[in-house]
Structure 1
Amino acid sequence: MEDILRPIYQERASHPNTLGIVIVEKKGSKSPLTDTFDTILFIIVKEADVPLFIKHYTYEENKAAMHIVSERQMKEWLLLGSNRKVTEWLLTGKIVFDRNEYIEKMRTELRDFPFYGRKIKMGIEFAKLIRRYMDGKGFFESRHFLDAYNHVVHSLHHLARLTVIENGFHPEVTVWNQVKQIEPEIFKLYEELVNSEETLEKRLELLFLASEFLIHSRIQVGSGHLLDVLSQKEAWTIQDLQLHEELQYYSVDLTVMIEFLIDKHVISTKSVETKGKGIYHRYYSVKKV
C-alpha cells in the first residue's frame, strides 16, 4: 500500500514544518500494533493547531491511517508512556522522510534510553503503582473484592512497566512478555492472580502480601526522581511541588506517593505556624539520614 500512499506523504514531506515520516505495516492479522489497519502513516511536525490529527483511507481491500502529531505531543507520549505503540512505530517503522536525521537521532536516543529520562519514567510509574495499590487495598479492606481486583491488576501492570524501565528497556505493547524474561517473579504473581483456583479473597490477600515486599524493594529507584527534585530546596509546599515542571507529569498521583514515602520514612514533614491559632503550614523535604 506504500505506493498508493506515496503522493500523500510526499506532499507532507514538502512542508517545512514536517520533521519526519514513518510507515508501519501490519505484522499479522491479530497484531495490535496498527490498531487493525494495514498501514500507519506516522508524521511528526514541529507545530500544529491540534496535537494529533488522524485521517483514515481505504484502497481495494486495504485500510490505512495517517497520524499527524506535534513534536510536543509525541515527546509527552514518550515520557509518560501513555501511547506505547508510538515507541514501536518510531523504532521499527520504515523511514520515508527524515529532515536533518530527526528520526534517526530519536531512534538512537530511544535505544540508548538516557538514565535521567528513565528516572522520570520510573517515578511516574511508581506513583501510578502506589495509587493503584493503595486504592486496591482500601477496596479489599472494605470487602469490595472485584473493585480491589481491578486496581491490583493495574498496580501489577505498573510494577511490570517499572521493572522493564529499571532494566534499561522501553515497555512494549507486549509488556508481560518482556517481564517474563526480565523478572519471572512478577510474571508468576500476575499468573497466580489471574489463573489461581483459590477464592478471589484469598488470591488478593496473598498478592497484597507479595506486593508489599516488591514495592518496598523498589522505593529507592521509584522515588529517585522525586527526591532529586526535593533536594533542590530546603522545604517545599505541596503547591510548589505540583507546579514543578517535571512533577506535573505525576498529576493526581503525586500526593498519594508523597504520603506513602512519609509513611516509609523517606520524606519528612515540617510544620510552620500560620496566623490561625493551632493551624500549621505543612512543608516537605528529603528525610536526613
Structure 2
Amino acid sequence: MKKKKRNSPFTDNMDIILLVIVNNAQVPWDVKHYEKEDEIAAVHILTHPLLMKWVDVRKYHKVLDWIVNGTVLFERDEYVTTLKQELQKSPNNKKELRKAVEFGKLIKSYNEAEVLYETFQYKDAYSRIVHSLHYLARLTIIDRGIYPEVTVWNQVKHLDIEVYKLYEELVESKEEIKQRVQLMLIATDFVISTRARTSIKHLLDIMKSKNIAWTYADLKFHSEITPYSSYLTSMIFYLTKKGIIQTLYKTTNEKGVYQRIYQVK
C-alpha cells in the first residue's frame, strides 16, 4: 500500500506499507520500520489466525483496508485474492455477529453521551455522539452486506440518507452545542430503537436457542458472544428498557436478595 497524499492516515503517514501474512509467528502482530532513498516503509507481519479473528468482527479496519485496496506482490494459492473477495462481502453467518458488535459499541457510546449531557459536559457529550453516529453508520453498511471502509460517510450517503442526515445536522448545525447534542440524543435514540431488534438478532437467537432464562454470566461467557462481551451490560440494560428482553428473578440464600435472569420477551 503506497501513500497517495502528503498526509496519509491510511498508511500512518508512511510512504509504503508492506503487509506480510504468515501461518505462525512468535508474536501475532509485529511491526518494523525501514528507510531507503528517503522513503519510509512499515512492515507489518501478521499471523493468519489473528487476521481471521479481525475479519470475523471487522476489527482493525485500517489493516483490512490495506488488504482490500493494496497491491498483491506475492501470494500462494490465490490466498490474498480470495481474502479480498471475502472482505468485500458479508456472509450471513458473520453478518449478524458483526452487526451485534457494532450495536454494542453504539449503545455503550450513546449511553456515555447521555450521561455526559446530563452532567453538563456538553463538549464530551458531542464527541460521544459523533462516535455513536459512526457506529450507526457502520451498522448500516454491514446490514447492506457491504464492507465498511474508513470513509464510512461517503458510503452511507449512498446507502441510508436518514443516517447521513443525522451526521450532517450534527456537524453543520448553527445551534449551540448544548442544543445540537440534545436534539441528536432524541433523534439517534429513535433510529436506534427502530433498528434494535434486527441489529441484535445474533444475541436474541442465542437466547432463544434454549428454553431457559439466562444469567448474565451464562451470556457473558458464551463462546459466540465473546466478540462483544465487553458491551454486554450496556446491551442488556438497553434491551430490557425497550422491552425486547425481560427480567426474571431467581431466589438466593439471602432473604430479599434475588438474582436477575433474562429471556427474550
Corresponding position: 1:268 with 2:243 = no
SS of the aligned residue for 1:278 comes to: coil
Q: Which structure 2 residues correspond to residues 1-289 of structure 1 after superposition, within 5 A?
A: 24-233=1-210, 234-287=212-265
Deviation at 1:221, TM superposition (A): 2.1
AA at the equivalent of 2:53: E
On the 8 A contact 2:141/2:156 being kept in 1, the answer is yes
Deviation at 1:182, TM superposition (A): 1.3
SS of the aligned residue for 2:88 comes to: helix
SS of the aligned residue for 1:68 comes to: strand
SS of the aligned residue for 1:194 comes to: helix
For residues 37-72 of structure 1, the C-alpha deviation after alignment (integer angstroms, 9 at most, x for no partner) is: 222110111122212101111111211111001122
Query: What is the aligned-residue identity percentage?
Result: 42
On the 8 A contact 1:129/1:155 being kept in 2, the answer is yes
Deviation at 1:261, TM superposition (A): 0.5
Deviation at 1:183, TM superposition (A): 1.5
Uncovered stretches (5+) of structure 2, i.e. residues with no partner:
none
SS of the aligned residue for 1:94 comes to: coil
Q: Distance in 2 between matches of 1:228 and 1:131?
A: 21
On the 8 A contact 1:189/1:207 being kept in 2, the answer is yes
Q: Distance in 2 between matches of 1:173 and 1:29?
A: 18
Deviates more, 1:94-103 or 1:114-123: 94-103
Deviation at 1:156, TM superposition (A): 0.7
On the 8 A contact 2:61/2:149 being kept in 1, the answer is yes
SS of the aligned residue for 1:265 comes to: coil
Deviation at 1:76, TM superposition (A): 2.5
Deviates more, 1:82-91 or 1:201-210: 82-91
Q: Distance in 2 between matches of 1:251 and 1:92?
A: 31
On the 8 A contact 2:197/2:244 being kept in 1, the answer is no
Uncovered stretches (5+) of structure 1, i.e. residues with no partner:
1-23
Count of residue pairs the alignment pairs up:
264
Higher-Rg structure is: 1
Root mean square deviation of aligned Cα: 1.5
AA at the equivalent of 1:177: N
AA at the equivalent of 1:235: A
On the 8 A contact 1:80/1:249 being kept in 2, the answer is yes
On the 8 A contact 1:78/1:84 being kept in 2, the answer is no
Deviation at 1:79, TM superposition (A): 3.0
AA at the equivalent of 1:167: R
Tell me the TM-score normalized by structure 2.
0.94
Q: Distance in 1 between matches of 2:144 and 2:225?
A: 23
SS of the aligned residue for 1:252 comes to: helix
